[in-house]
């Protein structure tokens, strides 16, 4: 069976040669620029901790025995896992680095080839060259090069959007040579359906593609095949997620309350991204460039067929399956993605989450044709005007790209956590670790407190809870409750409570539990309410008292650090007996059986909505539980006042 009838566009060899030259040159520049800024983020190391657990047979979890989905991208997690399983004993960090960079380059190449194919019909029989435009603007933005090798799913997102754009252009042009092959339609539907597994918010794009395909499809059987191909994998994984993790979406979305809104912070994030590079300039220039090319193509089309419209005319299914509709769709998708992230409040990493919207907006002009004038005197004059306009706009874009690529970025504020909460993550960790290119977990041992973690673990064979102290070279230790026989275990339990999960999790053994106050790997913290004025991406903050109360740790002085209140710990211990809280904890900690899976599946909506109050006393009141009476003074969370 054929995949799709290949449309033949007999344009001049210079068009094809210049297109491929543009792809190679831009990919080389992007690869070189990304390599000069190579690194792996702490969040990238979080993914690798999950991969380590998968390779060890503990399942897709961050801590063995606790089913928490600490990674946002399902495809990225299992892609790294699959390649790592095939390339062992190659170090996981280098697997992630190679995959991220390779996918980034592949995605940009696919984006340019898709746009080249978009312009191909209008260049039949004409002499022209293809120049990189939108792609050049994208690689000029420093965050695009930063996150090409960050160990995060950014490279995968670039590859996914590039592939989807290329396939959509092919699909829109398929009617030129007959309807697309059934296999091609099925593959496109499958790729579109995987959007939610690449990143949840990409469902806005993938879902839109499926809707367009269903409208364009003429037969009921074809629509069923599209639904089956697009929905089988995401629906199957969603059932698994609900039964295994007891949630409707990734734990990261719960920890960051992805359904909430922080418009003002989102506008700050947009300004933070735009300010250092004046991104509005290339967007304005490329919009003008796109309109000039569209007007020229429309005029040429009307000269050939006066009855034609910009959408090609005809019924709705033909209108939807047209190049113009695909262009409008990808641009609107980019705008919707940007609005989503602005509503959400953006991110704490400079520019990161706005890269995908930017790529969508630039896709229709990733490359642009400059057509050589030909024909009659009148058409030559129009051709000179068109070629001159396109060339002038392109030179302005290229000039901006040269300036932006060498921009100092955030300048002095790049590594300081100011009131915006946004930092240049790569520069921050390069400065904090003393490594220009922190690529491995070992490089992060030079981050404050990291070497002290290993020292503290080695010095406490009987087990301990490690809490970060004010001294960067030590940790506060809470011992485990002594056994009844008084003989401490030789390999006691260890838990590290710290924000930077990746660098800790990848530098300690898998039997060391690593949790955070934000909720990425801590089911208790994840179910607290979002702080109104918390740092974006760090909107939750669970008190360490809950961690002491929730584990086998001493809950009285002198085992409890002096800056914590014993009564607060005891109230937290009592609050953990709340029936709803127990059900949520059992959903992720109880052994996985068929009954547990089915119960989680039925109650996943309830568990996703469940919230606890981070102040134990208020949580006791919420649950209707008695407040334990102790001789310790009541802790209010306020500084003590003297006489």
Q: What tokens appear for 102 in the block?
A: 């390779």
**Mean pLDDT within 367-385:** 67
**Mean pLDDT within 118-123:** 87
pLDDT at 298: 73
> Is there a contact between 92 and 52 (Cβ–Cβ < 8 Å)?
yes
Question: How far apart, in whole angstroms, are the C-alpha atoms of residue 261 and residue 257?
Answer: 9
Q: What tokens appear for 432 in the block?
A: 């904090």
Flag whether pLDDT at 12 surpasses 80. Answer: no
How many angstroms separate the Cα of 436 from the Cα of each of 56, 186, 265, 312? Answer: 31, 45, 30, 53
pTM of the model: 0.92
**Of the candidate ranges 97-101, 245-249, 318-322, 635-639, the one whose mean pLDDT is the lowest:** 635-639
pLDDT at 482: 87
Confidence of residue 455 (pLDDT cuts 50, 70, 90): very high
What are the φ and ψ backbone dihedral angles of 468, each rounded to 5 degrees? -65, 130
- How much of the chain, in percent, has pLDDT values that exceed 90? 76
Confidence of residue 133 (pLDDT cuts 50, 70, 90): very high
Query: Quick one: how far is CA 557 from the chain centroid?
Result: 43
> Is there a contact between 421 and 348 (Cβ–Cβ < 8 Å)?
yes
Which residues fall within 8 angstroms of residue 236, CB to CB, at 6 or more apart? none
Q: What tokens appear for 563 in the block?
A: 């800056």
**Of the candidate ranges 308-312, 352-356, 625-629, the one whose mean pLDDT is the lowest:** 308-312
Flag whether pLDDT at 178 surpasses 60. Answer: no
pLDDT at 127: 82
Burial 255-279 (b: 16+ CB within 10 A, else e): bbbeeeebeebbebbbebbeebbeb
Q: What tokens appear for 207 in the block?
A: 């879902």
Q: How many CB atoms lie within 10 A of CB 598?
A: 11
Average pLDDT, rounded, for the chain: 90
Question: How far apart, in whole angstroms, are the C-alpha atoms of residue 516 and residue 499?
Answer: 5
pLDDT at 309: 45
pLDDT at 384: 66
Confidence of residue 447 (pLDDT cuts 50, 70, 90): very high
CA-based nearest residue to 342, from 329, 332, 357, 330: 357
**Of the candidate ranges 52-61, 345-354, 482-491, the one whose mean pLDDT is the lowest:** 482-491
pLDDT at 306: 52
Q: How many CB atoms lie within 10 A of CB 507?
A: 23
- For the chain, the straight-line distance linking the first and the last C-alpha, in angstroms and rounded, comes to 88
More confident residue, 532 or 258: 532
> Is there a contact between 463 and 456 (Cβ–Cβ < 8 Å)?
no
Which residues fall within 8 angstroms of residue 146, CB to CB, at 6 or more apart? 37, 39, 351, 424, 425, 426
**Mean pLDDT within 623-640:** 63
Flag whether pLDDT at 544 surpasses 80. Answer: yes
Share in percent of the chain as helix, strand, coil (round to 5): 60, 5, 35
pLDDT at 276: 95
Flag whether pLDDT at 239 surpasses 80. Answer: yes
């Amino acid at each position: 069976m054929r995949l799709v009838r290949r449309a033949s566009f007999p344009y001049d060899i210079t068009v094809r040669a210049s297109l491929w030259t543009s792809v190679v040159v831009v990919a080389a520049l992007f690869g070189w620029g990304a390599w000069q800024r190579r690194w792996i983020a702490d969040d990238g190391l979080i993914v690798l901790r999950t991969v380590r657990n998968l390779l060890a047979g503990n399942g897709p979890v961050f801590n063995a025995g606790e089913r928490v989905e600490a990674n946002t991208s399902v495809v990225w997690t299992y892609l790294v896992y699959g390649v790592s399983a095939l390339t062992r004993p190659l170090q996981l960090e280098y697997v992630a680095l190679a995959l991220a960079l390779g996918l980034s380059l592949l995605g940009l190449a696919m984006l340019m080839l898709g746009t080249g194919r978009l312009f191909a019909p209008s260049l039949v029989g004409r002499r022209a060259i293809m120049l990189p435009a939108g792609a050049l603007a994208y690689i000029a933005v420093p965050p695009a090069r930063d996150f090409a090798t960050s160990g995060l799913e950014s490279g995968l997102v670039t590859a996914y959007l590039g592939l989807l754009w290329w396939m959509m252009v092919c699909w829109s042009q398929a009617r030129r040579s007959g309807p697309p092959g059934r296999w091609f339609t099925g593959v496109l539907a499958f790729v579109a359906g995987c959007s939610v597994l690449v990143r949840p918010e990409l469902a806005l794009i993938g879902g839109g593609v499926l809707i367009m395909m269903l409208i364009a499809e003429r037969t009921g059987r074809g629509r069923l095949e599209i639904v089956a191909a697009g929905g089988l994998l995401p629906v199957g994984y969603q059932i698994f997620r609900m039964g295994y993790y007891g949630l409707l979406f990734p734990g990261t979305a719960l920890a960051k309350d992805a359904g909430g809104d922080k418009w003002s912070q989102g506008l700050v994030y947009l300004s933070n991204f735009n300010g250092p590079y004046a991104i509005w300039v290339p967007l304005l220039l490329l919009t003008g460039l796109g309109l000039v090319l569209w007007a020229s193509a429309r005029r040429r089309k009307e000269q050939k067929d006066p009855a034609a419209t910009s959408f090609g005319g005809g019924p709705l299914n033909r209108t939807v399956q047209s190049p113009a509709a695909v262009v409008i769709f990808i641009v609107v998708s980019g705008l919707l993605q940007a609005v989503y992230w602005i509503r959400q409040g953006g991110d704490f990493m400079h520019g990161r989450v706005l890269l995908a919207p930017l790529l969508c907006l630039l896709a229709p002009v990733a490359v642009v044709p400059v057509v050589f004038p030909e024909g009659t005197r009148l058409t030559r004059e129009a051709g000179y005007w068109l070629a001159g306009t396109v060339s002038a706009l392109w030179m302005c874009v290229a000039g901006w790209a040269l300036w932006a690529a060498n921009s100092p970025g955030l300048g002095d504020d790049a590594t300081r956590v100011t009131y915006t909460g946004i930092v240049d993550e790569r520069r921050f960790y390069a400065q904090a670790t003393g490594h220009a290119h922190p690529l491995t977990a070992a490089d992060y041992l030079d981050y404050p407190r990291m070497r002290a973690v290993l020292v503290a673990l080695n010095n406490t064979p009987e087990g301990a809870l490690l809490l970060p102290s004010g001294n960067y070279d030590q940790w506060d230790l809470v011992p485990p409750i002594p056994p009844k026989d008084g003989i401490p275990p030789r390999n006691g339990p260890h838990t590290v409570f710290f924000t930077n999960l990746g660098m800790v999790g990848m530098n300690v053994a898998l039997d060391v539990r690593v949790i955070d106050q934000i909720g990425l790997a801590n089911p208790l913290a994840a179910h607290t309410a979002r702080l109104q004025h918390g740092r974006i991406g760090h909107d939750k903050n669970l008190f360490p008292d809950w961690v002491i109360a929730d584990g086998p740790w001493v809950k009285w002085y002198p085992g409890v650090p002096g800056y914590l209140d014993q009564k607060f710990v005891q109230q937290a211990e009592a609050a953990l007996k709340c029936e709803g809280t127990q059900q949520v904890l059992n959903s992720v900690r109880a052994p996985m059986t068929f009954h547990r899976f089915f119960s989680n599946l039925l109650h996943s909506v309830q568990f996703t909505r469940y919230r606890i109050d981070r102040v134990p006393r208020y949580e006791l009141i919420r649950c209707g539980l008695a407040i334990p009476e102790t001789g310790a003074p009541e802790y209010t969370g306020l500084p003590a006042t003297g006489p």
